[in-house]
Structure 1
Amino acid sequence: MAVAALAMGALPAYAQGQSKNDVYGTDGQVKQVRRAPGIEDIEGGLIVTPRSNDAAVVRVEVVAKGIVRVSADPEGQFVRDESLIVTDFPARPEYNVRKGRNVASLSTEGLRVEISRADGKVRFLDGDGNELLAEDRRVMTPKMVQGEQFYSVQQAWQPVGEPGFYGLGQHQNGQMNMAGETVELAQHNISIAMPFVASTGDYGILWDNASITRFGDPRPFQPLDETLIVRGEDGSEGGLTGRYYDENGKVQAETRERDPDYQFLPPDQYASGEAVRDVFPEPFGTESPEKVVWTGGLEAKTTGTHKFRAYGSSYLTIKVDGETVVDRWRQNWNPYYFTFDVDMVAGESKDIEIEWIANDGYFRLEHLDPLPAEQQDDLSFASDVAQVIDYYFVAADGDKIDDVIAGYRTLTGESVMLPKWAYGFWQSRQRYTTQDELLDALKGYRDRKIPIDNIVLDWFYWPEKEWGSHKFDLERFPDAAAMVDAVHEMNARIMISVWPKFYPTTANAKALEEIGAIYQRQLMMDTRDWVGQGYRNSFYDPYSAEARELFWSQMKEALDSKGFDAWWMDAVEPDLHSNLSHRERALRIGPTAMGPGAQYFNSFALVNAQAVYEGEREGSDPNERVFILTRSAFPGIQRYGVSAWSGDVVARWEDLKEQVAAGVNFSMSGVPNWTFDIGGFAVEQRYTDEDPAHIEEWRELNTRWFQLGAFTPLFRSHGEFPFREIYNLAPEGSDPYESMVYYDKLRYRLMPFIYTLAADTTLKDGSMMRGLVMDFEDDKKVWDINDQYLFGSSFLVAPVYEFKARERDVYLPAGSGWYDFESGEHFDGGQTVTADAPLARMPLYVREGSIVPMGPDIQSTADDTNGELTIYVYTGADASFSLYEDDGLTYDYEDEAYVRIPMTWSEETGTLTIGAVEGELQSMPEERVIHVRFVSPDGDDGFAMDAEPDSTITYTGAAVDVSME
């Protein structure tokens, strides 16, 4: 049967409390809501009420080919607030229903779903009857949240075999394959929560819940003494031995501590009853010691792999049995977690030594003992707050993770195209304090002929006491509109930072207050920020449509009217304060217009981006592409013209390395545009002071990060002092300077390739930044590699993340040959090679059977190249590429105002065929010069900026063959 589309919020009548099985009392209220055991047909699927009274009622709905929605509710009413993630069902495909004695089933092409009539558990099978995934535990525990009835929930599944799992957003502990990992999905400055996972088992799970969620182990981490025996330095029970040092290196206090807890703010920052950090032991009190060292032992009660996470800021080192497991630094205003695992045997103690340079920072070490053996391999999502269990099973329409990601976008929306200039180089710093500083920085690039497209005006351009006014401090920015015009005259674009934060004294805050759209608890707690004397502040509530419209209208009047090109939506976790407990944060970001803050903990960035995207697209110039940079994200945000970035990561080598796994998994969560602060945002004092002893390392760190940045979806330099312009990072003519300029120019040469990748994210559900597993799933060696990735399907990127390293090992996946990009040397796949990595270059390989179109030397994406191309053909296997071109600025592509130039390489004939133009585009040149270079295994022709072509043709839009001979 064919089924019409059904809006996501529009459930059948019974879901509004009108089931045919309801029993009504004399007052007209439902007394009994659970259905009798049985099967009920609904539009799109079935409701199964299991025979077991302990099992939830289950609803299964066909959504699209290979996609089903599964919901569970103990009472069978399935009442939930409107989903923010999935806004519309696509047109349903035909499906078949079977109602057996023990099992009910729904079948579509390629997918069968079976629901047990005994306990409601659901199994997913492919078209041949092979099991893909089966539900295991389902736990729904009633709880009250701010006076409303909810559940805390867990759904676990038993995977077939040992698949890899990828996605879950962006996290900063180097996890690539999430199988066996425990990941807390709670928005944070440097962590993005995306409850979507894609599997090598040819399926994915989209978990439709916006509260704090845990993937893997459903239990929150515990204090050390709750799950371990904590021993002192002498081996006795009773806690670790702690020594507190002053600035002279003298021990001023010695303690025994079962759970050293300096995790959160002092009590006067919290409501009564909230668990908070203690003060330091006397004589320190509220004054920070210089250093604390804890020593002793941790004895396990259970044999197995034990998980630990250390919450920390400042310098933190942890050793277990003499092995360093944590050696990190974070700024004090942005502490976060560092995770590690330890294999332990029940009854045996592990030595532990913790050294913390306190410096007014934060610290706590927490623990999880092993799950029962039968649960350790489960796939599991558990959420703190839910009305029902609600998830989507996405079967791949093919055999790749790409197909699963396409299914995710079927549910949550296509990735809207960004303007072409967004893929050029951006420059920013924290911060340009005057409009002259900003214009001088841009002029510095133009004067030195260094390509650039975008300059960014970060926060605090407003008068000190007027955060949220969107006004400019006229002493520092006397004419913002003229500043924007000057940027445009230099053939560049300008982005401006806009926070969802307001001082209550501003007119904008008062207008939002009038409609009930300012969070009150932040004000009640008299929280002060870090500006000047410190000012009371709060955030607005974007869950209200009226508030979203007002928020955009304020931006439009004050900023959009001045011609700014793009929006930097900062602190949208939302970050009311960087060191509040989850419970306190949930209270301060609510109640929202839709429900308690705990219910919508992770979704603020989504509705905030919606406010800007819909406001601008429905505004005075609706055909100009919206571009938003946002510090957080949530499933569906790709439909709002968004790129996320990795937050205020620090300028350390470990953090550079972790950007790979963070960015790849974010991309594999379905959102293709992502970036980071090249060089790391926050800086140790040794760099801030520009200490001569550390300048070499500072320049090398930025150089290596810059090399990596050239091969990420968006290419962007930003951070705290020292200034981040290329010419401020290193002297002209120096090796770091020359390397950064080289990679900047290379990025622009690759723009035809990059912009095609960007277009394919919209038109072909592609991904720019790709885990190796996406293209080489059969090579299980790549599943866990967390320091390499693919840019498109052609480039293998292997960044250098150690100071003074001049070589690194690179694994070349099996199933393809590989070329060194610089030298052209050919390597067989399936081996690890030691790659040269001089400071000037990053190891970079190109897959044989690749076609890579490049452009000429340009200074911005707006430069007129008259269509000139140089096509690199990496021989050794057949290849194809479909070059994409449009106007780069408008939404006309939605009406197919673009062209494709298909290109194919035949290994058998040694011929590159540049096909006839497909489509129409008014701005396309009537003829263009195309150079061709062939790279072959028996040659040594790598890339060079000034390399001579093997052939040159004039292309007029008709098909033409170019022979390698």
Structure 2
Amino acid sequence: MRLALAATASLSALTTTALAGEVRQVEHGMIVTTDAGEEVRILAFEDGSFRVTIARDVADAADSLMVIAEADGAPRFALNEGWASLTSSGGTAMVQVSDGRLVVYGREGEMLLDENAAARSITPVELEGQEWFATRVQFNRGTDEGLYGLGQHQNRQMNYNGEDVELAQHNMAIAVPYLVSTRGYGLLWDNNSITRVGDPELYAKLALDWRADYYLGDRQVVSRAEETVDYQYIRDQKRWPAAATAAVESATTGQNTAGNSLEEQRVVWTGSFTPETSGTHKFRLYSSSYVTVTADGEEVLRRWRQNWNPWYHNFELELTAGEPIELQIEWEPNQGYIALEHADPIFDADRHSVSFASEAGKAIDYYVVPAPSMDDAIAGYRRLTGRAPMMPEWAFGFWQSRQRYNTQVELLDVVSAYRDTGIPIDNIVQDWFYWPEDSWGCHCFDPVRFPDPSAMVREVHEQDARIMISVWPKFYPATDHARELAAGGYLYERPLEAGQLDWVGPGYPNTFYDPYTPEARGIYWRQMRDTLLPLGFDAWWMDATEPDWHSNLSIEERKYQMTSPATGVPGAAIFNSYPLPHAEGVAEGLREAQPDRRPFILTRSGFGGVQRASAALWSGDVAARWDDLRDQISAGLNLSLAGVPHWTHDIGGFSLEDRYSREDPDHLPEWRELYTRWFQFGAFTPLFRSHGEFPHRETPIIAADDPAMLESLTYYHRLRYVLMPYIYTVAAGTHFDDGTIMRPLVMDFEADRATWDIDDQYLFGPALLVAPVTEFEVRERQLYLPAGAEWIDANHGRRLAGGQTVTVAAPRERMPLFVRAGAIVPTGPVIQSTAQDTGGVLNVHVFAGADGSFTLYEDEGTDMGYRDGEFSRVPLTWDESARTLVIGERMGSFPGMHEAREIGVVVHDGDGGGSVFSEEPTRTIAYDGEAVELYLP
């Protein structure tokens, strides 16, 4: 009877009071009121996506920061046997009326999502006197699907099925709550607070009867019992034992309190852990400095990280209930931070499920994107959150940066050094602290070190290069800019009230501006516009956008200090969202001030939708270690699958151990090899950028007395520019086709299950398979060639079958690189920057073995004409059986286009012959835009 009444009620648009078991149609969708009185609203989009909102009253759901699309679908509604459904072009969303359980099917009737309604929760929480809700949903219990995306994380997690991921902005972690599945969907979780994917519970400190032994050199100075390993934040340092504290304090003098030479600190924790549950126990070690963890004497973790930037490293142990295991943690503190956290096993069906749990929101709110392919999932995400604009062509050239150029002479000398040595470069970067010491936030230059910044920019441009400037959302309160923001209530006060000092000079009080109102963003942009824009800078480096006003505060302190003074929204409720409105404010300002110029923003943190702000992201201040190099690969791949196409990293790692920074001769070979391997990887990431602390990274400097290293680095500089026609075309696809540059193998070879978990190989565009080397003194490596294609070794020209693991040569100077058979890769001449006119010279490399196609894209490179159709495309098609290449009719035009050009062609049959991109064309034709067919036996 209730269902019959519900069907009648659904026909009335005048129903205003929700009744249990009621179903109402609304514009673009429906609202189901469950037996418990919760409302479940489903709205459909024309592209087939669904929005799902669950609350006591869905009208209370907050406006989205991430999503800019409005529901516009016209779904077909049905009510049958206790289920209400909407069917659209993407599939069907069904809601069980009694409990609100959601099931989503794809367009072919395949099940995409099946909710465990019993796990759903909306729990009231009080934040600074306001009512918010902790929320959780779970789908697909016991699933074997592959799960990817979620932003950038540094724990070598590729396929998230069975993994736990905490989405919380940090220097090296980027929270983008979009999940992509091999089952054929994407799920965008629309919540701005800290969110846990996987286990919904917060990991706890591992409480044991730890024995803690503190050493100075070889002398044990303290031995005591400790319940947990916990020196995680600044506030926890007060627990340090007094005997060790005295030695630490005297370390600044180089002597201990007894007047002897300084002895190094060491702490060893030993404890016996007897699990109550059998299965996979997960651990997170938060640490800095040197640390080693063993279990029953076997090493399970060995890491180093700079002390001002600790973060988590994950490890797992398979344990049996009732059987103890001996854990030992050996740490060299160097005044650093450490904590060990642990999570018990959860039921296998829950471990392998899709679960989101957030700390604060107004409702459960998420979007389901039915997607037959992962490319479709990325396209659906960008339809919801905004397209990625075209980046300027020079952004895909080489970037040189340093922490930091202290004077304008230093910066200009670096550009000249590249030009003098004939090593290509497009971009130079002025990092932070170009201002007077006590004036952070003034957007001004120290006149002693930078006497004429306008001339500096002009000289860079005269050398056919571009220059990026670092601009922070951070302010010293005494600056004029800070005072203006504070007067409007747009400056965070709590960091100042806490008395926090930064690391500059004697330490200065500092805070950040609050970007959550248009007025605040307008003031911030105007200050940039009036001070820096007139100087002619080409790109904008927006650092510390988590926001990171102090790296070693607890999460609770960061939340408290982030409460928006302008809107009153608690920091816990907006914790992950700061980088989005900040980047949008600057992007909108740039577009208004320079309407004919493509903006470029590099920001350390991002959130769902950040790609629409002309923003690229980078992986933060990572350490210069082999493990950290390896971690960058999966970090960049999953950020790409979260819908952000433009990503980069500090080639060589940002922070170095003393053995490197002091240029210890015994460790110089390892440092050079690490940098060389990282550089090889960097040449095949969306943005190719070197940056870090001392030693200096400039190619003419770092390889000055190592000819083989110099040859290798120069080779990859030039190869990047030779491949620019291919790279720029792939980059254009991120805008026009919602494409992805850096592609996990699973994107293109999902049917090959062997690709699902590979975290150290990927495709760069559709053609190139990249296999970085991430171990010291390794001169060959194993890699997997996906099934469904043949592969040609780009270094040696040999053809290999797919579907196999092979061992290939990897000399220090070259990284394994393969090209898919059937690929067509256009290349250009070696140039010094993208500003150099190539004369239209183009080489087309055809990799025989399968049919193939590629459409070359070209435009002016820096202006906004692409939005008005000012670009050209040239289709290239290879017919394997006929051995013919068709260079098709050119479509479109743009200012400066080469109407007539010379095109060379070389076919690679996989029979050896050396480096494929060094081979000279075997045919050359004149091309004037008309189609040409070439027979190439």
Inter-partner Cα distance in structure 2 for 1:60 and 1:915: 46
- 1:286 Cα deviation after fit: 7.1
Inter-partner Cα distance in structure 1 for 2:854 and 2:110: 35
- 1:623 Cα deviation after fit: 1.5
Q: Which 10-residue stretch deviates more, 716-725 or 933-942?
A: 933-942
Inter-partner Cα distance in structure 2 for 1:260 and 1:677: 31
Please name the residue that 1:69 is paired with. Answer: 51
TM-score by length of 1: 0.93
Inter-partner Cα distance in structure 1 for 2:595 and 2:916: 41
1:613 aligned onto 2:597: no
Native 8 Å contact 2:580 2:610 kept in 1: yes
Inter-partner Cα distance in structure 2 for 1:245 and 1:485: 56
Please name the residue that 1:351 is paired with. Answer: 326
- Letter of the aligned partner of 1:47 in structure 2? I
Native 8 Å contact 2:49 2:90 kept in 1: no
- 1:758 Cα deviation after fit: 0.5
- Letter of the aligned partner of 2:341 in structure 1? E
Give the 3-state SS of the residue equivalent to 2:435 in structure 1. Answer: coil
Please name the residue that 2:923 is paired with. Answer: 951
- How big is each residue's C-alpha offset from its partner over 1:225-271, in whole Å with a ceiling of 9 and x where there is no partner? 2xxxx3xxxxxxxx12211001x3210011122212100113xxxxx
Inter-partner Cα distance in structure 2 for 1:327 and 1:673: 31
Please name the residue that 2:270 is paired with. Answer: 295
- 1:216 Cα deviation after fit: 0.4
Please name the residue that 1:476 is paired with. Answer: 449
Unpaired segments ≥5 residues, structure 1:
1-17, 23-33, 231-238, 267-275
Inter-partner Cα distance in structure 2 for 1:130 and 1:763: 29
1:509/1:778 CA distance change after superposition, 3 Å: same
Q: Which 10-residue stretch deviates more, 858-867 or 730-739?
A: 730-739
Please name the residue that 2:872 is paired with. Answer: 899
Inter-partner Cα distance in structure 2 for 1:876 and 1:710: 26
- 1:862 Cα deviation after fit: 0.8
1:374/1:799 CA distance change after superposition, 3 Å: closer
Please name the residue that 1:97 is paired with. Answer: 77
Please name the residue that 2:363 is paired with. Answer: 388
Native 8 Å contact 1:280 1:286 kept in 2: no
1:128/1:727 CA distance change after superposition, 3 Å: closer
Inter-partner Cα distance in structure 2 for 1:351 and 1:950: 66
Give the 3-state SS of the residue equivalent to 1:728 in structure 2. Answer: helix
Native 8 Å contact 2:141 2:349 kept in 1: no
Aligned pairs (5 A) from 1:378-527: 378-396=353-371, 399-527=372-500
- Letter of the aligned partner of 1:224 in structure 2? L
Inter-partner Cα distance in structure 2 for 1:711 and 1:154: 38
Native 8 Å contact 1:169 1:195 kept in 2: yes
Inter-partner Cα distance in structure 2 for 1:732 and 1:558: 42
Q: Which 10-residue stretch deviates more, 464-473 or 295-304?
A: 295-304
Q: CA RMSD, aligned part only? A: 1.4
Inter-partner Cα distance in structure 1 for 2:761 and 2:247: 44
Inter-partner Cα distance in structure 2 for 1:738 and 1:135: 56
Please name the residue that 1:212 is paired with. Answer: 194
Give the 3-state SS of the residue equivalent to 1:599 in structure 2. Answer: helix
Inter-partner Cα distance in structure 2 for 1:177 and 1:599: 28
Please name the residue that 2:4 is paired with. Answer: none
Inter-partner Cα distance in structure 1 for 2:658 and 2:545: 28
Give the 3-state SS of the residue equivalent to 2:455 in structure 1. Answer: helix
1:184 aligned onto 2:157: no
Give the 3-state SS of the residue equivalent to 1:919 in structure 2. Answer: strand
Give the 3-state SS of the residue equivalent to 2:574 in structure 1. Answer: coil
Inter-partner Cα distance in structure 2 for 1:358 and 1:807: 36
- 1:130 Cα deviation after fit: 2.7
Give the 3-state SS of the residue equivalent to 2:684 in structure 1. Answer: coil
Please name the residue that 2:212 is paired with. Answer: 242
Give the 3-state SS of the residue equivalent to 1:632 in structure 2. Answer: coil
1:88 aligned onto 2:69: yes
1:279 aligned onto 2:263: no
- 1:921 Cα deviation after fit: 1.7
- How big is each residue's C-alpha offset from its partner over 1:659-711, in whole Å with a ceiling of 9 and x where there is no partner? 10000000010010000000000010011111111111111111000000000
Native 8 Å contact 1:131 1:160 kept in 2: no
- 1:180 Cα deviation after fit: 0.7
- How big is each residue's C-alpha offset from its partner over 1:710-734, in whole Å with a ceiling of 9 and x where there is no partner? 0000000000000110111112661
Aligned pairs (5 A) from 1:187-206: 187-206=169-188
Inter-partner Cα distance in structure 2 for 1:160 and 1:856: 53
- Letter of the aligned partner of 2:115 in structure 1? E
Inter-partner Cα distance in structure 2 for 1:161 and 1:733: 52
Native 8 Å contact 1:914 1:961 kept in 2: yes
Q: Which 10-residue stretch deviates more, 455-464 or 101-110?
A: 101-110
Inter-partner Cα distance in structure 1 for 2:899 and 2:378: 37
Inter-partner Cα distance in structure 1 for 2:543 and 2:516: 17
- How big is each residue's C-alpha offset from its partner over 1:590-611, in whole Å with a ceiling of 9 and x where there is no partner? 2253411111101111111111
- Letter of the aligned partner of 1:368 in structure 2? A
Please name the residue that 2:21 is paired with. Answer: 37
- How big is each residue's C-alpha offset from its partner over 1:545-589, in whole Å with a ceiling of 9 and x where there is no partner? 101011011011110111000000000000010011111101111
Please name the residue that 1:263 is paired with. Answer: 232
Give the 3-state SS of the residue equivalent to 2:115 in structure 1. Answer: strand
1:546 aligned onto 2:519: yes
- How big is each residue's C-alpha offset from its partner over 1:405-463, in whole Å with a ceiling of 9 and x where there is no partner? 11000100101111000000010000000000000011100000100000000000000
Native 8 Å contact 1:304 1:345 kept in 2: yes
1:702 aligned onto 2:675: yes
- Aligned mate of 2:144, from 162, 167, 170: 162
Please name the residue that 1:130 is paired with. Answer: 110
Native 8 Å contact 1:807 1:834 kept in 2: yes
Aligned pairs (5 A) from 1:775-854: 775-854=748-827
Please name the residue that 1:332 is paired with. Answer: 307
Native 8 Å contact 2:493 2:511 kept in 1: yes
Native 8 Å contact 1:809 1:833 kept in 2: yes
Native 8 Å contact 1:253 1:282 kept in 2: no
TM-score by length of 2: 0.95
Please name the residue that 2:702 is paired with. Answer: 729
Q: Percentage identity across aligned positions?
A: 50
Q: Count matched residues.
A: 907
- Letter of the aligned partner of 1:189 in structure 2? N
Please name the residue that 1:151 is paired with. Answer: 133
Native 8 Å contact 1:512 1:518 kept in 2: yes
- 1:324 Cα deviation after fit: 1.6
1:160/1:900 CA distance change after superposition, 3 Å: farther
Give the 3-state SS of the residue equivalent to 2:243 in structure 1. Answer: coil
- 1:295 Cα deviation after fit: 1.6
Inter-partner Cα distance in structure 1 for 2:892 and 2:305: 51
Q: Which 10-residue stretch deviates more, 484-493 or 289-298?
A: 289-298
1:362 aligned onto 2:332: no
- 1:737 Cα deviation after fit: 1.1
Native 8 Å contact 2:53 2:61 kept in 1: no
Inter-partner Cα distance in structure 1 for 2:73 and 2:772: 45
Inter-partner Cα distance in structure 1 for 2:246 and 2:197: 37
Inter-partner Cα distance in structure 2 for 1:286 and 1:629: 43
Give the 3-state SS of the residue equivalent to 2:621 in structure 1. Answer: coil
- 1:140 Cα deviation after fit: 1.1
Native 8 Å contact 2:676 2:712 kept in 1: yes
Inter-partner Cα distance in structure 1 for 2:308 and 2:287: 11
- How big is each residue's C-alpha offset from its partner over 1:32-72, in whole Å with a ceiling of 9 and x where there is no partner? xx64430111111111001235xx32000002322000010
Native 8 Å contact 1:261 1:278 kept in 2: no
Greater helix proportion: 2
Please name the residue that 1:323 is paired with. Answer: 298
Aligned pairs (5 A) from 1:856-871: 856-871=829-844
- 1:322 Cα deviation after fit: 2.2
Native 8 Å contact 1:38 1:50 kept in 2: yes
Give the 3-state SS of the residue equivalent to 2:673 in structure 1. Answer: helix
- 1:922 Cα deviation after fit: 2.9
Please name the residue that 2:6 is paired with. Answer: none
Give the 3-state SS of the residue equivalent to 2:365 in structure 1. Answer: strand
Aligned pairs (5 A) from 1:738-757: 738-757=711-730
